[in-house]
Structure 1
Amino acid sequence: MNNHESRNSNMTIKPDADGALRMPEPRPDKAPVKTNAYRYARQANTQLLPMFPYDGPGDIVSACTSIRAGGQSGKRGYFLHTNAVDEVMVSFGANGRVRTGDVVVGPKTHGVGGSGAAEFFALNVVTQRQLEEGEQLEAVAFACEACSQEIFKLSFSAFTTADHDGFFPPLPSNAGAAEAAARFNASEANRTCKACGHVSDPFPIAMWGWDKYLRATSVSEDARRALEEAIRK
């Protein structure tokens, strides 16, 4: 492959007669779609709401995150997220550490959340491109509140797995994070630091909405199946 040619499972990009690179027509099952991030954030039931219906190999996955925390808004918690691919975060409005208009590409393992006395808000869009082939893993880990030592970690597939398959399956990042937080909260042993012995508080999962998102997904899946059954009768 030379510098002017890019191939993947979805497309082949080659220079035309005048040397310009042009995108091929989209696949019929991957029609271009668009949405408004500000309007989308109003209906978000989770802190990482997928904006488009594509999350397969080679797909561009964008998710909207909107949060108000700190001060009277309550504790939001902190965790470490590991991704096998780069994440590009664009700030569509914020008054905290992240500035409005910031574009950030962080490390593969990065902290999410944190504590702070001052209340703040942020509306961001996080975009990543899924691997075209092979295994793609993510992980969510929790650190000791006293000494910052990692005390619990769960790895999971970044692609939809059989246990979450359906008409509109949940975003794997949300499903994995919800499971990690549930396991962390359910066991004091998982929250006990082996380095210093401190027992960390349960993670405030309600602040992130992962459980609410999965419940809504379950209702959507059950409703779709009920409609399919009604049509067959």
Structure 2
Amino acid sequence: MTSRKLIAGNWKMNGGLAANEALVQALLQGIATPSCDVAVCVPAPYLAQVQALLSGSPIALGAQDVSAHPQGAFTGEQSAAMLGEFGVRYAIVGHSERRQYHGETDETVAAKAAAALAKGITPIVCVGETLAEREAGRTEEVVKRQLAAVIHVNGHCISEIVVAYEPVWAIGTGVTASPEQAQAVHAVLRAQLHHAASEHAAGIQILYGGSMNATNAATLLAQADIDGGLIGGASLKAPDFLQIIAAAR
């Protein structure tokens, strides 16, 4: 287990100028000095606004996606260099919604992680199985395949990534993997990282990303290989997000 946990909020496609300001101000008023790393991953149009709001605070700025390409004719995409100009510290790559709705492959995700790393942005690499895959007993096979693609392309600097295990069947459904189910998969991922970067594997943060909330966070975070959370809906409610941060000791 790493010495320091990470709680990262994923706002998904939610927010507005007034709502963002109210949420961030509430977080800043309640956060004091957190005992874990904290980030919020916001929609691209709001990066400049939230960068200004977070200035000088202990909360890092994150993006929800990054292009695999450095520049060029890729309408609608944002490069890692562009994100870097807004002080972005983290970028989510390979979220199940991107894999499902935008056809992102393991190879695409690996390339996006490489693009982020090349500009000093920490990719939060998401892996996870569907309900059908879990019921077929393929959980370990699926998550190892997804992570292996990223390790293959980024092996030389794999210690600089963050991994997020997000069982697709537990995202936004209110269904959460039991602490034991989550820990079992995190242990598999830790072993895979240990094989790729033995001396650094213990320091790689592996987050749980399936409906972690204020009620279940402490139990999940107590597991040996769960180093934090990638928080969806609960990150849009300041009291809930602050309670999760407080649980990450």
TM-score for the superposition, normalised by structure 1? 0.28
Bigger RCO (CA 8 Å, 6+ sep): 2
Larger helix share, 1 or 2: 2
Pair member with larger Rg: 1
TM-score for the superposition, normalised by structure 2? 0.27
